[in-house]
Structures are given as structure tokens and as C-alpha cells.
Amino acid sequence: MSKPRVIYWFRTDLRLHDSPALKAALDLEPECLYPIWTWDPHYVYRARVGPNRWQYLLDCQNDLSQSITRLNSKSKLLLIREAPQTLFPKLFKAWNVTHLVFEKDTDAYARERDEQVVALAKKAGVEVIVKTGRTLYDPDELVKHNHGKPTMSISQVQAAGKKIGEIARPIPAPKELPDPGNTDLHFEQEKPSNEPDINAIQRDGNEASYLSLAGPNGDFAVPTIEELGLKEVTTPHRGGETIALKMLDDIIADETYTATFEKPKTAPTAFEPQATTLLSPHMHFGSLSCREFYWRVQDVVSDFKGTASQPPTSLTGQLLFRDMYFGAQAALGYSFGQTYNNPQCRFIPWHLPSKIDTESGLITGDYLVDNAEADVYFKRWKHGRTGFPWIDGLMRQLKDEGWIHHLGRHAVACFLTRGGCYVDWERGAEVFEEWLIDHEAACNIGNWQWLSCTAFFAQFYRCYSPIAFPQKWDKEGNFIRKYVPELKNFDKKYIYEPWKAPIADQKKWGCRIQGEGSETSDVTLYPKPMFDFSTRREICIQGMKNAYHIGLYGNDPKVLNGTWREL
């Protein structure tokens, strides 16, 4: 009997170590193994992906390709520029494929796509093997063992996890790989018909270009940023399994850091080096396996002589949070990503009146912010021009580098929603989606819901001050001096409230604090704060109390009777 001819489809797993799906492909002892990445148009133009994340992806692909070649000089990652739904039927035929193997993906869009591909494979007589490897637990199993419900707390994840069984130990990387088969593509790319062509890569308006399947040189090479038409890559962070494993080694070598890590004690103002691991983009692209991460940490914790930290604040606790969001998403599908039609997400009438008669439910007050004002707040938040240096520094770090510390994400998300601007969390999540190099739909959406107190967490009276909170971590204001360089010479007394500095000092330190839109000047300008924070904070709290009180989705007295607490 002839041996299997296998396509291994890389997607969320750009690595060779600890890949249950890759192991399953190799266990078939195939005659040939085609390691491919298909150009998913969803990624190209339906999702928001900024140039920094693109670069990270290309880094991962290049590194993976080189690693494949190291194990078999005839092989490499084959980049094929066509949507999987139209590509696979042609590949199955042209390459005489018997098996298709890939890692399970429970993102809402991915499920849809994979169902289509599995149906196409079935039609072509190709056997499909799918294995979980992206999360500690299979998100569908988590949901099943959480009584069929989305996982909304760590204790639910832990309880469901106990029923599933111990997290599997990582699988070593293969030592060799089979040859790829003949990669001739005995088919022409079909020209667009009257049907919309989902492979058209659209950029800059309506211009559409049709790339040849195997790339401009016909060699299946990983594209360059230039080929993609993207220019401004500004992140200093680089992707790839080799870098990921080296970063993990360095973390694990510091046993005390690894075993005693407590997330709330890590400084959001730290940079070069940052206070947490910065492994999240590697987790997103699968260039690091979560089980490798989990067990390397757990082994250090087990051997640690002192008192180790525990979930949820410990490092393994962070990975459980990740699984929690995947479990929530797996249960809710597309509706997880929005307020509409999402049974877990509390409706907050963002931008609506602050005064509502709680007896009658009638609107009696003025508008909290009208839509035009909300839009100005949103744009100034997005572009780091709020006049609050802590918020502006974080948003600029996000845009330039694609990563910010978790508590920094807390600060800007709280500020945009219930702790300042009172703007819908979905608008903030879209900005993160575009700019984060670690953007993970489940984690991004879930954390935005948490911070806006629309799901997961309801203590809206606990709110981040853009002044007192960063001051606790960084009295000198070094973070501000790096990311808001206009203020680099300001005395530390004014670094978080530069508008309070005397005009003479502002001149001396080379930056004037002025209203946005003030006439241009030959000195550097930094905006005045766009509102009085204490006043806004009260308005937001009132708005949230009203929203909870109207009780559209419940009415929790614990929440309503809370007292104001600044973070």
C-alpha cells in the first residue's frame, strides 16, 4: 500500500516544538510532507492588522522556514497566496494528497473556514486530522466541563480543568522531517469571474493586485514587507520560534523571578526591560507553545525552596486567564466580540444621559457627552493627545511598539470607557486589534469587557487615576520622558500634570501646555488635558450606576453599593 501524502497546514502554530498536530502528521510516516501556509484573505483585509504585526508574522514564517530546512534541506515553509477555501481542492488534486493535518482553532471565523475546508477534503477523499495545541485545555472541553457555559472566571477554568485531567507535557521538536513532494502546481490560478474574488488583495482604495500563487518568483518564499506594500514598521520586538525559546530560557534561568512572579506587583512603567515576560506575541503566533511555557515554569515552582506565587497572580495563573478567554469565546462564537446579541455582556448606554429616573426609567438629565464630543475624546485617546501624559505615553508606545504592559492596558481601557471618556469599549478594542503585535481576539475582547465592566468584572467604582496610579510606580516620570519626549525636561513634580507648571518653567523646559488647536508657535506644544478628570470620573460613575440600576441585564446590590476607590 502506498504511503500517506500529507499537507501540514501551519496557522496558529508557527513552531516545531510541542506541536501535537505536527506529531500526528509525522506519526503517519508519510512518503511526503508539504509544510504550507495559505494566504488567508481574512487576515489580509477583513481583520485589522498594522505593519508591526505583519512584520512579526513574517519573522515567524522566516524562522520556521529556516528551521524546517535545517531538518530537511529539500524542504521549507511553502507560502501559497490563495484562500484555503479555493486553494485546497486544487492542491489535493495536483499533489495527490491523502491527509490534511492542522491545529485546532476555535476563533469564530476560523471555525467557519475550517468547516468549509473539512467538507472540501471529504469531497476529495482526503482524511483530515485536527489536534488541540493552542491553549492549555481544548476550549470546547473547558466549556463542556463548565456545564456547557462560557468560562467567565479563573475558578471555573480550574474546576473544569480538574475534570479534564492534567495538562499534557510538551512534545519535543522532531529531529527530522520527510521530503516535500513535487511542488509543481499543475493548475492555473483562475481569473476572477463575476463572483467577488476573495483572493484579491486590496490596498489603498480600490486597487486590486493578483499575486501568483507561489509568489513573484514562483518559489513559495515568505513575502517581504515591501511586497505587501507596507512601509512603516516601528516595533523593536521581533518574532520567531528561535527568539521565543531563547526568551523563555532566559526567564526560566531566573528562578526567583519565575517562581515568585505576581502580576499586580509588576511595574507598568518599566521598559527596556519590561516587567513581565513579553511572550504574548509568541503565544499569539504559536512560535511558543503554551504547554512548554506552563511546564517550564511549573517545574521551577515545584523545585523552588522559598514561597512561590500561586494562580491567579503567578505566571501559570496568567496562562489560565488566557484559557479562560478562549473558553468564553468558544462558547459564544461571533457574539463574544460585541455587545449586541451577547448574553454575557452588560449593555451600557455609552454617550447617553447621566441622569435617569431610576423609578420610571425616564431620561431626565443632559447628555453625558454628545456623539461629536465622544468622537473627539476617542480620537485624542487613540493618537496620544489627551493631555494626560500617562495615557498619551501608553498610546504612543502601543502604536510605535505594538506592546504595552497589562496594567498600562488597564489604564487606557478604563480611561476610554467607564473611567474618563465614556466611549464604547468596542471602539477601543478595534484600535488594539490594529496595533497590538500580540492581538488575540479572545483575549482582547475579553479584557476590554473586563475593563469596561461589561462582563467578567463589575467593580466600576474602582477606577484608575491617570496621575496617582503611574506616580506610584515611577516617581521620576522616566516612562513619560521616553514616550512623551515633549515633556522630557519637566520637573518630576509636574511630569504627570504638566498643565500645573508655571508658564516660566514651561518655557524654561522647552514645552508650552496649550489647548488643542491653539495657534502654532515656534516652541514645542503639548495639549492641556481634554477634561477635568475628577469631574469626568464622577459623571462616569453616575452613568455606570444608572446603567447597572436600570437593570437591563441584572441588578447587583454589591455593585451598586460600592464606594469610590482609586487605583
**Among 57, 60, 331, 436, interactor with ligand FAD by CB under 6 A:** 436
C-alpha cell at 445: 475582547
Quick check: 387 and 529 in contact, CB under 8 A?
yes
**Among 81, 409, 427, 537, interactor with ligand FAD by CB under 6 A:** 409
Pairing of strands 207-209, 511-514: unpaired
Minimum separation from the CB atom of position 270 to ligand FAD (A): 11
Q: Which of 16, 534, 47, 545 is nearest to 240 (CA)?
A: 16
Interface with ligand FAD includes 263 (CB under 6 A)? yes
The site string for ligand FAD over 449-488 (x = CB under 6 A, - otherwise) reads --x-------------------------------------
Instruction: Give the Cβ contact number of residue 193 at 10 Å.
Output: 7
The window from 92-100, 376-384, 430-438, 491-499 that contacts ligand FAD (CB under 6 A) reads: 430-438
C-alpha cell at 57: 508574522
Residue 325 vs 381, nearer CB to ligand FAD: 325
Minimum separation from the CB atom of position 472 to ligand FAD (A): 18
Interface with ligand FAD includes 328 (CB under 6 A)? no
Pairing of strands 511-514, 462-463: unpaired
**Among 9, 271, 325, 490, interactor with ligand FAD by CB under 6 A:** 325
Q: Which of 368, 417, 423, 413 is nearest to 391 (CA)?
A: 413
Pairing of strands 201-203, 207-209: antiparallel
∠ Cα 432 106 52 (to 5°): 30
Report the distance separating Cα 276 and Cα 284, nearest Å. 16
The site string for ligand FAD over 130-169 (x = CB under 6 A, - otherwise) reads ----------------------------------------
The site string for ligand FAD over 274-303 (x = CB under 6 A, - otherwise) reads --xxxxx--xx-------------------
Question: Cα Rg for the chain, rounded, in angstroms?
Answer: 25
Interface with ligand FAD includes 413 (CB under 6 A)? yes
C-alpha cell at 546: 444608572
Interface with ligand FAD includes 432 (CB under 6 A)? yes
Residue 411 vs 501, nearer CB to ligand FAD: 411
DSSP 353: B
Minimum separation from the CB atom of position 408 to ligand FAD (A): 8
For ligand FAD, how many residues bind (rule: CB under 6 A)? 28
Give 10-37 as a DSSP string.
-SS---SSS-HHHHHHHHT--SEEEEEE
Interface with ligand FAD includes 448 (CB under 6 A)? yes
Quick check: 287 and 58 in contact, CB under 8 A?
no
C-alpha cell at 123: 469531497
Residues that bind ligand FAD (CB under 6 A): 263, 276-280, 283-284, 318-319, 321-322, 325, 405-406, 409-410, 413, 432, 436, 438-440, 443-444, 447-448, 451
